[in-house]
Chain A
Amino acid sequence: MNAIAALSPYSSSAGKTNTERHTLSVLVDNEPGVLARVVGLFSGRGYNIESLTVAEVAHVERWSRITIVTTGSPESIEQISHQLERIVPIHKVTDLTLHGRAIERELAMIKVRGKGENRVEALRLGDAFKAKVVDATTESFIFELTGAPQKIDDFVEIMRPLGLVELSRTGVAAISRGADPS
């Protein structure tokens, strides 16, 4: 069968393809509107964004790196890469997931409120996860935690019953392993 089922309503097949999660690293000119172009592409073509981060990575050249975590069939993720490449101020799109296991890190700040037992337990678990306490009152802590997204998910789940009141995450930054740039 030739059709890429998931992508077209013209296909009459059910469109069952396996969904994968990929991390795309996108090097762009840091010019006004470039982020809007990227986000607009995803919304306009119905692609998913699980996480998106952006920051300048080369000051003199004025380049930024946008790291996008997306899900879809392998064909639609290939299509996403190509569609991104069409955006004029985008230099390079790398599918880090295709390049072997990339390093992915995220930073989270987690506010936990509680007294007595729960407070002690939260502190103990924070320690076990190597989270830093960056703010404290007599009835609350703010933890700072860096790690793979899964590790943060785990920590958040553990903190929930102990009085988690607020969570702020940066989204994923990623880089390929080894000596070469991706």
Chain B
Amino acid sequence: MSKQMTGAEMVVQALRDQGVDTLFGYPGGAVLPIYDALFQQDSVKHVLVRHEQGAAHAAEGYARSTGKVGVLLVTSGPGATNAITGLTDALMDSIPLVCLTGQVPTHLIGSDAFQECDTVGITRHCTKHNYLVRSIEDLPRILHEAFYVARSGRPGPVVIDLPKDVQFATGVYTMQKNVQHKTYQPRLKGDMAKVREAVEMMAAAKRPVFYTGGGVINSGPQASELLRELVALTGFPVTSTLMGLGAYPASGENWLGMLGMHGTYEANHTMHDCDLMIAVGARFDDRITGRLDAFSPGSKKIHIDIDPSSINKNVLIDLGIIGDCAHVLEDMVRLWRSEAKKPDAAALKDWWKQIDKWRERKSLGFRNSADVIKPQHAVQRLYELTKDRDTYITTEVGQHQMWAAQHYHFEQPNRWMTSGGLGTMGYGLPAAVGVQMAHKDALVIDIAGEASILMNIQEMSTAKQYRLPVKIFILNNSYMGMVRQWQELLHGGRYSESYSDALPDFVKLAEAYGAHGIRCEDPADLDRAIQEMIDYPGAVIFDCVVAKEENCFPMIPSGKAHNEMILLDLADDAGIEMGSIIDEKGKMLV
């Protein structure tokens, strides 16, 4: 198909051709022609957010819960700069986004025109790639190429900066099927010789572990299926990063729970003592490894990743396999089967015996209370009351995020949306808006903190406008709890500026936004209140008043190794001075 149309019409046509049904945006002078083109059609739905950061996180939530590319549209200058946090978030967590930004007309670029900013310059560092479209002839190719780049290889955000004169210009649009980039063509299939070597190593392993990450989710649901199959075939234990939760079901026998700074005792000790680590779509981030020179000292390491730069970045790898998780896992499963491989059953039995001992520490345990709601208990009840529904969970950032990761259990991929790499407070509500747009009838819950939620609270208006029944479940501990916990551990309990003073009345706030407000302070009333939230047909803000000074355990203190975790019982031990656990070097780290 070839057709004469304006640049603005090309944008909308390309969205349609790329199968985009929803985009998130906010208008302004430099994108008015595109808004006009959107006005005159109804196949692409525009969702009006209340802040451009919200548009980016909503697009992320949409992308991560559907596996599709998320799209946002913002104006030049402040529209573009407001989107930066969301773009950076998407870059860190490898979320495919296409961000369309308006720009002043080409002849004004560089003149400090009204609402001009160097968008491609500013976003060069926080996008996978970006384009400034200088002529209408380039526009159709760039539009399609951007989608290709965003979703191929290691996914990420792509910005297309669109000067206003290009939006008005007319040119020829050709429907381009399966546009690729002329040189950017990431390798999907792993090197078979290496896959074979990996399978040999796995069959010989005595203390193996799968360490899986967000790459398994990004690779698509098939990768999760294949992971499950490989775990079942080998009988190996499996742990996952924050970003990878749901790839292997939490109810699965071989599941160790999440690993890392707030991971389980069994997951971290298994990582520390293993003799073979099979990393799949994970990037050895500092929240995972703890002290690097004490990281899993006795193991051989296999690393499967689509991004060659992830291999050997922080940790030396014995066998790196570059490829897409699903492709490589498929080859592994096939080889394991066709060569009738068997794990070392005797060794594995001993290994599991050891792991079961670690499990007995029940590292996620906490002291419940009849007087005050414990935040962990609140997440557990939320889980019990929602697990049999079609549920999606998003979070903000802080202790509540870690408690959600520890106590909400995921059976499927794409059900858990959280800001991992960047740790962006204010992510959860707009992400929930994005998820709910894609899954109209699902139960979408943002597990939030009272501080984080205020960072993008304006998106309640978006929820109201589009009748999105998102549920905001605030674990209100009256503190920026994670900050307070670090101040307790590192700074002598001097809680400098971490108290959430002058909070709004969240029930009234809900009402002001046309939503339903619920406050619960009594553990005995919690189940009923959660049920009320679930049953309410519209958006809800649930102010769950929880214990103020609860700490998030277990924890690997910064600068320590996997086998140096603090557990609740240790932390409570009168003999241990909390402030002395992290040494001077550890204090330097974040």
Contacts and interface: CB of A to CB of B under 8 A. Distances in A.
Contacts of B149: 88
A7 B124 CA distance: 23
A119 interface: no
A40 B124 contact: yes
A88 B127 CA distance: 11
Nearest to A86: B309
Interface string A68-83: 0000000100110011
A4 B293 CA distance: 8
Nearest to B121: A36
A2 B309 contact: no
A37 interface: yes
B125 A9 contact: no
Contacts of B181: 88
Contact of B291 (A10, A85, A91): A10
A2 B297 contact: yes
| Main secondary structure on B side of the interface with A | loop
Interface stretch (B62-70, B312-320, B460-468, B495-503): B312-320
A29 interface: yes
A13 interface: yes
Given A3-B315, A33-B120, A82 B309 contact: yes
B559 interface: yes
Given A4-B316, A9-B588, A82-B309, A44 B183 contact: no
A7 B297 CA distance: 18
* A interface: dominant SS: mixed
A32 interface: yes
A131 B314 CA distance: 47
Contacts of A2: 292-293, 295-297, 301, 315-316
A85 B134 CA distance: 26
Nearest to B309: A82
A78 B312 contact: yes
Contacts of B541: none
B312 A37 contact: no
B455 to A, nearest CB: 26
A11 B585 CA distance: 10
Contacts of A91: 183
A90 B559 CA distance: 37
Contacts of B121: 33, 36
B191 to A, nearest CB: 16
Interface in A19-37: 29, 32-33, 36-37
Contact of B125 (A1, A8, A12, A44): A44
A109 B311 CA distance: 43
Contacts of B585: 12
B307 A10 contact: no
Given A12-B291, A32-B132, A91-B183, A4 B125 contact: no
A151 B204 CA distance: 55
Contacts of A10: 286, 289-292, 314, 559, 589
A2 B121 CA distance: 37
A90 B183 CA distance: 8
Given A12-B559, A36-B124, A88-B181, A7 B129 contact: no
B273 to A, nearest CB: 14
Contacts of A29: 182-183
A108 B313 CA distance: 37
B75 to A, nearest CB: 21
B39 to A, nearest CB: 32
A91 B120 CA distance: 21
10 closest Cβ pairs, A-B complex: A82-B309, A3-B292, A11-B292, A88-B129, A3-B293, A10-B286, A91-B183, A82-B308, A88-B184, A13-B293
5 contacts: A12-B293, A12-B585, A33-B121, A86-B307, A88-B181
Interface of A: 1-5, 7-13, 29, 32-33, 36-37, 40, 44, 75, 78-79, 82-83, 85-86, 88-91
Given A4-B316, A5-B292, A29-B182, 14 more contacts: A1-B297, A2-B316, A4-B312, A4-B314, A8-B292, A10-B286, A10-B291, A12-B292, A33-B124, A75-B316, A78-B312, A79-B313, A82-B309, A89-B184
